Amino acid sequence: MLGVGPKQPDALLIGESPSHDDARENEPLAANSATGRELQHVLDAAGLIRDRLFFLNVIACVPNEPRRDKEVKKAMACCRPLLLATLAKLPPETPTLVMGTVAQQAIDQTKRSIAKLRGFIEYEWTLTDALKAKGK
């Protein structure tokens, strides 16, 4: 199971991999899992409705414990075609929340850490209008 949600979601939430609870419910960040319950409170506070969100993991299977970097990378590579196919079906302008370093690295194919990127919206401001450069 990689992703679940409507075809025209309000937003796309991308996480790492399913937990055992998620696998049982066949839903990423399942509402009945410990994380899912906590997440529900946060979604409520943010005015987001769970049924209108698309939940997606970059890895489809429950990883073995303890997790090893090599295995995670292998799983990311294995699931990538499915990930890209799922993303391609969603409207490209869907507001997206990327959760965690593994998800971010799988999407961007970079080694950047989420610690440095969290909290910032990735979009280009058009500074041209705001810029009144030299020669005034």
Partner 1 sequence: MRINTWAPAHAFFSSPYEAANFEVDLQRLGKMVRGTLEPGPSRIITNATHHDLAELVRLGLPLAVDIETSAGPGMGSWTGKDPTRCGLKCIGFGTCQTGISMMWEEMTDTDRLLVAEVLMDPAILKVLQNGPFFDIRVLARFGMKVVNFKDTRDMRRALVSTSKLSLSYMTSIYTDFPAWKLVSDSEEKIAAEVDEVAAEEESEDAHAEPALEGKLWQTNDVEKLMRYNALDCVATARVYRGLVADMKEAT
Binding residues vs partner 1 (CB under 8 A): 10-11, 15-16, 19, 29, 34-35, 38-39, 42-43, 45-48, 93, 95-104, 110-127, 129-134, 136
Query: 89: alpha, beta or left, given left = phi > 0 and alpha = psi -120 to 50?
Result: alpha
Least distance between partner 1 and beta carbon 77 (Å): 19
Candidates 114, 13, 118; CA nearest to 58 is 13
CA–CA dist 55, 19 (Å, integer): 13
Please, what is the minimum distance in Å from the beta carbon of residue 65 to partner 1? 13
Q: How far apart are the first and last CA of the chain?
A: 58
**88 vs 133 by CB, closer to partner 1:** 133
Distance CA 67, CA 81 (A): 22
Q: Kindly tell me which of 88 and 130 has the beta carbon lying closer to partner 1.
A: 130
Q: Report the residue number, 38 or 78, with the smaller CB distance to partner 1.
A: 38
How near is the Cβ of 129 to partner 1 at its closest, in Å?
Answer: 8
